[in-house]
Structure 1
Amino acid sequence: MSTRHLTAIAMIAALYAVLTMALAPLSYGPVQLRISEILTVLPYFTPLAIPGLFIGAAIANLLSPVGFYDVIFGSLASLIAAWLTARMPRPWLAPLPPVLVNAVIIGILLGTVSGLPVTVFAAMLYVGLGQLLVCYGLGLPFLYLLRRFRDHIPGARPKR
């Protein structure tokens, strides 16, 4: 792995963590709009985004009110979603894994260990709706914008 690739991973991780933490009131809880989830389309272009998003989520989840559980399970949710996003055959499908994976895993997490008065189903619904808004409302346009600059993305795969 080259220095350029390691730098790209670190930049993605830092950007995800900073965006999440800077917008903390929106980023945590049963109703969350993690603007940093815009970056979840990056694995569609480059596998370097997979560890970057995982590390960024782990760092950002250190501030989570759910604590240790979110660091573990929230970061694993990001890893699974990023891995699935990298395998999506069409651009419009790229935001789907983060929506579904986070709705299920984070919904279960918030509904069981958060101490909030919310059922698992309601938490899954709230998280899923927030993810849908960010990943499709902002992430998909971001993906289409990035397609123009694909040649400048470190580790980018050939066009699909």
Structure 2
Amino acid sequence: MSSIQKTTRLARIGMIAAAYAAASIMTLLFLSGLAWGPVQFRVSEALVVLALFTVDAVPGLALGCVIANVVNVVLSGSGALGLFDVVFGSCATLFGAWITWRLRDNPKLALLGPVLANALIVSAYLPIILAGLGFYTIPFTSISLEGTYPFMYLFGFIATGLGEAVVLYVLGLPLATALSKASFIQKMKEEA
């Protein structure tokens, strides 16, 4: 691989990371935190479709997730509890993007990877963060989940999985269709 190719890949990874982080932070600032919490519609996850076109999206999305989650720790004041999201949430994005890349020949199936990765991983640590922040009820209800990790995990699995599926299939698939017609995407696919 030439130094120009390495530089191009590094720049692509950086641009994808910046786009993901910016979209996550915008969601946090303008959509009342729908990018974090027990019910999530992280609009930036639609960018996972970039992994259908380039392997560079895998580290780019993961890095963008790290940046966004660190910014959330600072803005929300969640402290050490927020580090769960920085580490494990970013791992979920990394794993989901990797599955998307591996299954890229079947986009509808490929996008199921991030849905499952986020539903399984985020749900495992979300109850710990929420309990630490004093959150014990299912949003929009008065149903308390205090001290019931299995129910909190199940609720998180369903809520996170559904939110991720909505974002990926309602926003991500049309984005992938539009991008697949772009000339720069065709060039990236040829480089892969």
- On the 8 A contact 1:46/1:157 being kept in 2, the answer is yes
Partner SS, residue 118 of structure 2: helix
The structure 2 residue matched to 1:114, chosen from 117, 130, 142, is 130
Hey, what's the Cα distance between the residues in 2 that align with 1:105 and 1:33?
A: 16
1:68 aligns with 2:83: yes
- Aligned sequence identity (%): 41
1:20 match: 24
Which protein has the larger Cα radius of gyration, Structure 1 or Structure 2? 2
Partner deviation per Cα, 1:78-127 (whole Å, 9 max, x = no partner): 11111110011312223211111101101111123431325110011111
Q: 1:127 aligned to 2:135?
A: no
CA contact (8 A) 1:14 1:56 kept: yes
Match of 1:45 among 53, 75, 96: 53
Distance 1:21 1:83, change over 3 A: same
Deviations 1:113-144 (A, max 9, x none): 43132511001111111101100010011111
Q: Where do 5+ consecutive residues of structure 2 fail to align?
A: 137-144, 146-151
TM-score of the superposed pair, with normalisation by structure 2:
0.76
Counterparts of 1:139-150 in structure 2, within 5 Å, are 139-149=172-182
Structure 1 length-normalised TM: 0.91
- Residue 58 of structure 1 pairs with residue 75 of structure 2: no
Structure 2 counterparts to residues 23-34 of structure 1, below 5 A: 23-24=27-28, 25-34=33-42
For 1:90, the equivalent position in structure 2 comes to 106
Counterpart-to-counterpart distance in 1, 2:129 and 2:34: 19
4+ residue runs of structure 1 moved beyond 3 angstroms?
none
Indicate the larger mover: 89-98 or 17-26.
Answer: 89-98
The question of 1:78 aligning with 2:93 is answered yes
Deviation at 1:154, TM superposition (A): 8.2
Q: 1:43, 1:120 → 2: CA distance? A: 28
Quick check: 2:45–2:164 contact (8 Å CA) kept in 1? yes
Quick check: 1:99–1:131 contact (8 Å CA) kept in 2? yes
Name the CA shift for 1:155/1:80 in 2 (closer, same or farther; >3 Å).
farther
| Unpaired stretches in structure 1, ≥5 consecutive residues | none
Amino acid at match of 1:22: M
Across the aligned residues of Structure 1 and Structure 2, the Cα RMSD in angstroms comes to 1.7
